[in-house]
Structure 1
């Protein structure tokens, strides 16, 4: 049951963030993403590592979307408030982090699959936000898509490594107890 709540909760937050951003409103999506992250974190038995994943995902998002915004390869609807990229995108990264040890936990033990998931899934999410909602405009489609694929593959590698490290530590401390 927790799996489905996490999966559907993230999808709802994504649709709210993207849908309202397309209408020029960042705050409903930010609230939805942060609300999802807070509730998921509160219900999580892995709070410490989830918190570290949220911080790492936020850093990845700020870097990747900051680069894409600065280069102009992507133009975001609801660009303010900007962190270097739009805040609604940054909070989506935080919400996404809360899926990694929950509804997407199957990718944690499979780093190659996680990286492929990033290469394909990252750009597809942005293209979905673009084509379905006009929340993102690809001004330089090839450059932006390649940057997203590379950025998301690195992010997924980093985020799954953080999670695996915490899983290994938990197993070691559990085995020695």
Structure 2
């Protein structure tokens, strides 16, 4: 239980550092906070190589999705030294941070992929809404960006959870916590 709470809190801190930094011309802040969080996260994993694969897969998948949003001009980010047509590095950090929750604090969602889809359908757009209120992202006007976000997150969340089962670096620890054993 302690690991889940720490994982959740670190994700929230990392998310805020990325988004606040992106909004206030400090894009390096998110990267600077993400690195020690991921280091700690991987130190807790029983199979760090497996967890690293999951993190990288999630970053690539999420990065491609967010790059598509940017390319299609459904979102934009504040001007910075980073090239305007490329997804900011702090956004990739957000995907790494989100992936770090899949085998720990979001593990409970594995029990129901339909619930995971609803979680993504609602939670994904809410995260972008919060980021837009802070000033880190601007969504194009109209319903299209929100519809794309909701549908994509309704697909991505269960897909990433499915991958987290495949690359589960915390399975033995979670099973021991529940009194299960691998024979």
Q: Shared fold by TM > 0.5? A: yes
Does residue 116 (structure 1) correspond to residue 118 (structure 2)? The answer is yes
Contact 2:109 2:116 in 1 (8 A): yes
Identify unmatched segments of 5+ residues in structure 1.
none
- Higher share of residues assigned helix: 1
The residue number in structure 2 matching 1:127 is: 129
The offset of 1:94, in angstroms, is: 0.5
Q: 1:58 to 1:15 in 2, by over 3 A?
A: same
| SS of 1:108 mapped into structure 2 | helix
| SS of 2:46 mapped into structure 1 | coil
Larger RCO, structure (CA 8 Å, separation 6 or more): 2
Paired residues in the alignment total 171
The offset of 1:5, in angstroms, is: 0.9
Q: 1:41 to 1:80 in 2, by over 3 A?
A: farther
The residue number in structure 2 matching 1:66 is: 67
Task: Please give the alpha-carbon distance, in whole angstroms, between the structure 1 residues aligned to 2:58 and 2:142.
Answer: 24
Match of 2:109 among 107, 110, 114: 107
Where does 1:2-81 land on structure 2 (aligned, <5 Å)?
A: 2-77=3-78, 81=82
Contact 1:30 1:92 in 2 (8 A): no
The residue number in structure 2 matching 1:93 is: 95
Contact 2:82 2:88 in 1 (8 A): yes
Contact 1:64 1:148 in 2 (8 A): no
Task: Please give the alpha-carbon distance, in whole angstroms, between the structure 2 residues aligned to 1:78 and 1:30.
Answer: 17
Q: 1:149 to 1:6 in 2, by over 3 A?
A: same
Deviations 1:58-78 (A, max 9, x none): 112211110111111111125
Q: 1:166 to 1:70 in 2, by over 3 A?
A: closer
Q: 1:128 to 1:68 in 2, by over 3 A?
A: same
The farther-off stretch of 80-89 and 18-27 is 80-89
Contact 1:79 1:85 in 2 (8 A): no
Contact 1:109 1:164 in 2 (8 A): no
Identify unmatched segments of 5+ residues in structure 2.
173-181
Normalising by structure 2, what TM-score? 0.84
Task: Please give the alpha-carbon distance, in whole angstroms, between the structure 2 residues aligned to 1:111 and 1:130.
Answer: 28
Normalising by structure 1, what TM-score? 0.87
